[in-house]
Structure 1
Amino acid sequence: MCATCGCGEGEVRVTAPGDQHHGHGHGHGHEQEHDHDHDHPLRTHTLELEVAVLARNDELAARNRAWLAARDVVALNLMSSPGSGKTTLLERTIAASDRPVGVIEGDQETLFDAERIRAAGARAIQVNTGAGCHLDAAMVQRALTDLAPEPGSVLFVENVGNLVCPALFDLGELRRVVVISVTEGDDKPLKYPHMFAAADLVVINKTDLLPYVDFDTARLRADARRINPDVELLELSARTGDGFAGWQQWIAALLPQ
């Protein structure tokens, strides 16, 4: 079990859509230590293990970041709760992109999202985490080996749907994006402050549904900036394309000239 977030240990499978095999398992990606010295409180052992896990993850994330930077690959980590519309946003982004796009898809099970991404015209690798509730730098490192993103391309990492644990794990990305849909409620920044504190950009998605839901965009903006004064915010509808130009401009500003 992951001492950092409590998710279960299980087989991680990295699979390219269309691969006839079920993917290759690599374990959870966390290095675990078992300390049977009962002279110390359990809390101390858990904290020590958490620090070790995150330190090892940060080491691998730094390697990922250097590897991507050497190839001028702009990597963005997309985080959200399930059903926020991340995959729909990626489909529209791929269709509009004038650069090669690669996607690492994170889900506990299925190849559904990676197959959607491939159908949209981008190369994709699916990482199935089993009982795991987030991607970590080791999983991304293995996926990068299989995906081999083109120099000068844009890489999206669509993290496992979860507003808690993905915020803890650096993957080697250039920027972190939190996608929140208007159907989820406007109280999320205060309920999940670590996620919003980690964000470089918050995308408020499904704005076409605003007339039908009780969602105060001004409140969400104010609360997000209470948590993270430097965070940028965009409102858009991935389904209709409303506000999509702002998302394209934000990505374009990160690309090497």
Structure 2
Amino acid sequence: MCRVTQLQQAILAKNDHHADGLRAALAARGTGLVNLLSSPGSGKTALLEAELTLARQRGVPVAALTADLATENDATRLARSGVPVKQVLTDGLCHLESEMLDAHLDGWLPEPTRLLFVENVGNLVCPASYDLGESLRVVLASVTEGEDKPLKYPTAFGLAQLVVVTKNDLAEAVEFDRETLLANIQRVNPGVEVVFTSTRRGGEGVGLLLDRALAVADGAPVHRPLMAAEAGADGHAHGHTHGHTHGHAHSHGNGPEHTHPHHDAHAH
């Protein structure tokens, strides 16, 4: 068991070292990387398509790389936005790793790209442990998935810097309990910002993800998550931390949770 743990730590340490290098290289060229994690069927691709389309309309140079186990369906959908899109087939691997991502970016990522959105494999377990060199880590959950999702996947939600709740137009139909979900999110990640979206109803909340990502890419402080290992929330936590600043959140009525950051940086 000790050897297995040591091997896992070595793999993650190697990945984190490469991720640091990729993060620095992207920052040097003025590109922010947004790592999107969710379970299958959360509405991640639909929201990302809407955000990419809005970015193109605003004249913001963005690109997207989407990972899947076997199909290119997501890339086909995202390409409708009119921005550069690349599909990565992982051949059964349940997550992306920083070295793998870097190899796919080499020679493909357009030079003026301001934001690169990475749609990770649909899975809230494996991808949560791998830093990709992101400047913003986002976890998505739909109102149809249940209010206990953060408690079931505390590492994924505990390391998020932004939580996006999707399919809010279905909230009433599925008797979604908003306050319970918010309480569960705050339980595993105190202070994290939460926004509610729907790609229907005129695009409720569409643009919030783009705005947050641009602000972070421009140097705005970002919420520093409570590490799962610090919280003791998940036996799978490996204890490495991502360098983010800490913030506190409060709710404004029925709107999104807003973070008010402190300059309290923690090094990776």
Report the TM-score range of the alignment, normalised by the length of the smaller protein: 0.7 to 0.9
Partner of 1:8: none
Structure 1 residue 102: deviation in Å? 0.8
Partner of 1:208: 169
CA-atom RMSD in angstroms: 1.5
Matched to 2:63, the amino acid is G
Structure 1 residue 166: deviation in Å? 0.7
Q: Distance in 2 between matches of 1:250 and 1:45?
A: 41
Partner of 1:168: 129
Decide whether the 8 Å contact of 1:88 with 1:239 is kept in 2.
Answer: no
Partner of 2:19: 61
Decide whether the 8 Å contact of 1:106 with 1:135 is kept in 2.
Answer: yes
> Structure 2 vs 1, CA of residues 230 and 151 (structure 1 numbering), >3 Å: closer, same or farther?
farther
Answering whether residue 44 of structure 2 is matched by residue 86 of structure 1, we say yes
Structure 1 residue 236: deviation in Å? 0.9
> Structure 2 vs 1, CA of residues 138 and 255 (structure 1 numbering), >3 Å: closer, same or farther?
closer
SS of match in other structure, 1:125: strand
Answering whether residue 158 of structure 2 is matched by residue 197 of structure 1, we say yes
Structure 1 residue 238: deviation in Å? 2.2
Q: 1:247 aligns with which of 201, 209, 214?
A: 209
Note the alpha carbon deviations across 1:56-115, whole angstroms, 9 max, x for none: 101110111011100110110000000111111111111111211111111101111112
Partner of 1:187: 148
SS of match in other structure, 1:147: coil
Q: Distance in 1 between matches of 2:167 and 2:198?
A: 5
Note the alpha carbon deviations across 1:109-144, whole angstroms, 9 max, x for none: 111111212221111111111121111111111111
Matched to 2:137, the amino acid is R
Spell out the pairing of 1:1-257 with structure 2 (5 A cutoff).
Answer: 43-97=1-55, 98-240=59-201, 241-256=203-218
Q: Distance in 2 between matches of 1:250 and 1:194?
A: 22
- Structure 1 unaligned regions, length at least 5: 1-42
SS of match in other structure, 1:195: helix
Where relative contact order (Cα < 8 A, 6+ residues apart) is larger, the structure is 1
Q: Distance in 1 between matches of 2:6 and 2:88?
A: 28
* Sequence identity percentage: 47
TM-score under structure 1 length normalisation? 0.80
TM-score under structure 2 length normalisation? 0.77
Matched to 1:45, the amino acid is R
Structure 1 residue 245: deviation in Å? 4.2
Q: What is the total number of aligned residue pairs between the two structures? A: 215
Q: Distance in 2 between matches of 1:51 and 1:255?
A: 29
Q: Distance in 2 between matches of 1:103 and 1:152?
A: 10
Structure number with greater Rg is 1
